[in-house]
């Protein structure tokens, strides 16, 4: 377990978060879920992949806690849950890795991704 006073995350949980973020399609799914909740079908359509393939990516994200799914009848809606991502960010910050990242173009990137 990682314990920096403010951060209590198991190594396996941290590994799962970083593994989840290692795939571009999963990062894209998270980006899509920032402004709104989406169905699995909507995510698949946006990514240009099958529902089965989208479901596999969603399962990985759900396993590590980055998203949750809520069922409304026959429809499953995916919701972003960034608590684990926040904890991973705290870990990166605690070991000084964020100091190495150039964030000068962050506002432009977020604007391009329609997140601002």
pLDDT tens for the chain, 116 residues: list them.
444 444 556 788 888 998 999 999 999 999 999 999 999 999 999 999 999 999 999 999 999 999 999 998 988 899 999 888 888 888 777 766 555 555 566 566 666 766 55
Residue of 11, 6, 20, 12 whose CA lies nearest to 81? 20
From start to end of the chain, where are the E strands? 2-3, 8-9, 38-39, 67-72, 75-80
Phi, psi of 104 (to 5 degrees): -65, -30
Using alpha carbons, list the distances in angstroms from residue 27 to 2, 12, 17, 21. Answer: 24, 19, 11, 6
Rounded Cα distance between 23 and 70, Å, is: 23
pTM exceeds cut of 0.85: no
What are the structural domains of the chain? 2-112 (1.10.10.10)
């Amino acid at each position: 377990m990682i314990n920096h006073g403010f951060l209590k995350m198991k190594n396996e949980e941290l590994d799962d978060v970083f593994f989840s973020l290692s795939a571009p399609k999963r990062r894209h799914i998270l980006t899509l879920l920032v402004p709104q909740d989406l169905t699995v079908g909507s995510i698949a359509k946006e990514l240009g992949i099958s529902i089965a393939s989208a479901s596999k990516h969603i399962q990985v994200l759900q396993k590590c806690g980055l998203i949750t799914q809520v069922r409304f009848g026959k429809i499953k809606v995916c919701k972003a849950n960034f608590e684990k991502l926040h904890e991973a960010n705290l870990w990166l910050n605690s070991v000084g890795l964020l100091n190495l990242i150039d964030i000068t173009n962050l506002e432009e990137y977020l604007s391009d991704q329609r997140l601002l």
